[in-house]
A and B are shown apart, each in its own frame.
Chain A
Amino acid sequence: MIYREAGVYKTTYRADHAIFTIPQDRWSMIGIFAIAFLLIPAVGSEYWLGAIMLPFLILALAALGLNILTGYCGQLSLGTGGFMATGAFSAYKLATSFPDMHIVLVIFGAGLIAAAVGILFGIPSLRIKGFYLAVATLASQFFLIWMFDKFGWFTNYSASGVISAPPMTIFGDVFITGPEASLVAKYMFTLSVVVLLALVAKNLVRSNIGREWRAVRDMDIAAEIIGIPMLRTKLKAFAVSSFFCGVAGALWAFLYTGSVEPLAFDVNRSFQVLFMIIIGGLGSIMGAFLGAAFIILLPILLNNLPTMLGLNIRTDMISHMEYMIFGALIVFFLIVEPHGLARLWSLLKEKLRLWPFPH
């Protein structure tokens, strides 16, 4: 750090309860918001906004959701894709059944439906633990995708099984979905939703509920003994997590791709999000964003690397090599810091605090 924490005096409980207790942290956060809300939409190219920032924000939101469930409550889940699909298809059904419904309501309504589905699939978690639960959550993943694929009702009987977002507006006349929507509008809308939900998540995890979650994660029996209701706590985590994933799925279908089929949310999506929280750091809000950035940018980088280096490699070869490098990098990061980028960041701060006189 360029600054030190020493010398920050708090005189009120309010100040002590703030998310960022150190003024410098607060300022840098405001700086980041300013960049995200003002600078990026102003200077970002089509490609950056549409192909990098949008998926980054949406997947970061999904990662946030999974991090609540896995990182904070300790329930390993491989069903993220299923819950995202639930969000996407619920949003579609809501938007087509009630054409007058406001987009914000559609998105959050889809989140609520996903939360309900999440609760349903969370019930077995009371008995099933650890990796058994992880594999069991795959059941929800496969079942949900199959369901959306199989029953025409979910896609309004479209022949291809693909759903397309109807054009919808905000503030009366600004299109944010459909072909007429501008990328900047999409970006701003997504960013607002993500920032809002990230703040919700940050406050949730440092509230009573968050402490219950962490107690369950660290030792569930001990938590139960001190009176934390196991089923309710776990289901709350499933509900909140699925809500986040559902919203992310709805945003993905409506704002990012515009039209989507169930396969977009297959098990690979679940793994992708899981990678994000592991690389980013389990049990860290910032980690979800760091991880998402890493996982989004890495394949893009790998894809462009051969051309950047002027190498001429066959395309199927490139895709195999990508797999290899991706796998190797995952392992490498886990070895460097098993607790993710967020932990690496705090270690860096620790080191700088001692700098220039290390132990």
Chain B
Amino acid sequence: MRIERDIIYIILAFIVLMVVVPWTAGQLSDQIFFNWPFFFEVAIGGLLSGVMYSLIALGFVLIFKASGVFNFSQGAIVLFAALTLVGLHGLGLPMWLAIVATMGVMFLLAVSIERLVLSKLVNQEPIILFMATIGIAYFLDGFGQTLWGSEVKVLSLGISEAPGFYFDGQILINDFDLFAAGIAAVMVVGLSIFFQYTRIGRALRAVADDHQAALSVGIPLKHIWIIVWTVAGLVGLVAGMMWGSKMGVQFALSLIALKALPVLILGGFTSVPGAIIGGLIIGAGEKLAEVFLAPMIGGGIEEWFAYMLALLFLVFRPQGLFGEKIIERV
């Protein structure tokens, strides 16, 4: 029943996007350029850029689902991973080796975060851990740039940005975006299975519910946290590679995290598929609004539109579309 309701919500959201927006645009056609193929091109472009947001949101979901920590440093992790990768590649390592080495660095990062921060903050309130991750974010931003410099670096994955194929003779989609979507799909499926059906995945969810109880049944928090942060680091690396090759490896990568937050609350903090669906809705909504709505009210709305859209959804579903229902008992 719950699933059905969710699907209805999603369909409603898409009806809003697909009907209301073009309709208003049609009414105002003297102000805005509008035709259907153009509309679909914008929508598909939006969906694909939404996938890119999802890649970052996934990292958030992972750590929240597995330890109940709202990890604000995910953006910094993305930046740090990308910087390390480009830096190592720049030192002369071949790409594959640089990727492997970066994975190692992400593991070391996870170990040190666990040792130096998390292990000292077991059983603290969520807001304290949240603040600690902001501290980590500041540290990583500074550390990465101290180490590798702050100028914009180019990262090429060898995937063409050229238009890949035309759909219906008019709408173009490029290879890179399709590749990103593929990667995201693989990660979602993989992570969902990991959480739902493995021993470690179950332990991760247990830790998220109750640190102390998890400790009491003998789940070693230490290992769990290292695993989660390593996986989040790897997800961050993937996101950093995709975003880095799109817009260059630079400090702005760290701020992309702010764009992933609406995706996160819309999909639900605890849902891996939610991160994708949320990304799609936010991506499409944002692009459509930017093209068809922004000219009416003054432009620049991409700064807040995603947040308002997410807020709207939250009023109807306070735990996001797919988030775990908040169980409240007195």
A interface majority secondary structure: helix
A19 within 8 Å of B (CB atoms): no
A window 308-343: CB within 8 A of B: 316-317, 320-331, 334-335, 338
CA distance A143 to B298 in the complex (A): 13
Chain A contact patch, size range: 35 or more
CA distance A267 to B72 in the complex (A): 14
B162 within 8 Å of A (CB atoms): no
Total CB contacts across the A-B interface at under 8 A: 139
Which residues of the partner chain B approach A334 to less than 8 Å between Cβ atoms? Answer: 121, 128, 131-132, 135
Which residues in B have some Cβ–Cβ distance to A below 8 Å? 70, 116-117, 120-121, 124-128, 130-132, 134-143, 145-146, 150, 258, 261-262, 264-265, 269, 298-301, 303-304, 307-308, 310-311, 314-315, 318-320, 326, 328, 330
16 contacts between A and B (CB under 8 A): A130-B126, A131-B265, A131-B269, A132-B269, A132-B320, A135-B261, A136-B307, A150-B300, A225-B330, A267-B258, A278-B128, A278-B131, A316-B150, A320-B146, A327-B142, A334-B131
| A331 interface neighbour in B117, B142, B328, Cβ under 8 Å | B117
B139 near A338: Cβ-Cβ < 8 Å? no
B315 near A129: Cβ-Cβ < 8 Å? no
**If the complex has contacts A132-B265, A146-B301, are A139 and B310 also in contact, measured as CB distance less than 8 A?**
yes
Residue of A127, A132, A271, A275 ringed by the most chain B CB atoms within 10 A: A132
CA distance A320 to B76 in the complex (A): 13
Which residues of the partner chain A approach B124 to less than 8 Å between Cβ atoms? Answer: 338
B142 near A76: Cβ-Cβ < 8 Å? no
A331 near B139: Cβ-Cβ < 8 Å? yes
**If the complex has contacts A124-B314, A128-B315, A331-B135, are A138 and B142 also in contact, measured as CB distance less than 8 A?**
no
Residue of A282, A322, A324 ringed by the most chain B CB atoms within 10 A: A324
Tell me the minimal C-beta distance from B89 to chain A in angstroms.
21
B139 near A327: Cβ-Cβ < 8 Å? yes
A195 within 8 Å of B (CB atoms): no
CA distance A331 to B132 in the complex (A): 5
Select from chain A the residue with minimum beta-carbon distance to B140: A327
Select from chain A the residue with minimum beta-carbon distance to B131: A278
CA distance A323 to B254 in the complex (A): 13
Residue of B121, B262, B307, B315 ringed by the most chain A CB atoms within 10 A: B307
Tell me the minimal C-beta distance from B15 to chain A in angstroms.
23
Tell me the minimal C-beta distance from B77 to chain A in angstroms.
13
A222 within 8 Å of B (CB atoms): yes
Which residues of the partner chain A approach B301 to less than 8 Å between Cβ atoms? Answer: 146
B125 near A326: Cβ-Cβ < 8 Å? no
Select from chain A the residue with minimum beta-carbon distance to B261: A135
B318 near A132: Cβ-Cβ < 8 Å? yes
Tell me the minimal C-beta distance from B143 to chain A in angstroms.
5
A151 within 8 Å of B (CB atoms): yes
CA distance A324 to B147 in the complex (A): 11
* B-contact 0/1 string along A107-130, CB 8 Å cutoff: 000000000000000001001111
B307 near A142: Cβ-Cβ < 8 Å? yes
Tell me the minimal C-beta distance from B219 to chain A in angstroms.
22
CA distance A130 to B128 in the complex (A): 13
**If the complex has contacts A142-B304, A324-B146, are A282 and B318 also in contact, measured as CB distance less than 8 A?**
no
Select from chain B the residue with minimum beta-carbon distance to A131: B70
**If the complex has contacts A135-B261, A330-B135, are A146 and B310 also in contact, measured as CB distance less than 8 A?**
no
* B-contact 0/1 string along A212-238, CB 8 Å cutoff: 000000010110010000000000000
B146 near A129: Cβ-Cβ < 8 Å? no
CA distance A241 to B139 in the complex (A): 30
| B318 interface neighbour in A128, A145, A317, A327, Cβ under 8 Å | A128
CA distance A275 to B130 in the complex (A): 11
CA distance A128 to B315 in the complex (A): 7
Which residues of the partner chain A approach B298 to less than 8 Å between Cβ atoms? Answer: 150-151
* B-contact 0/1 string along A143-156, CB 8 Å cutoff: 10110011100000
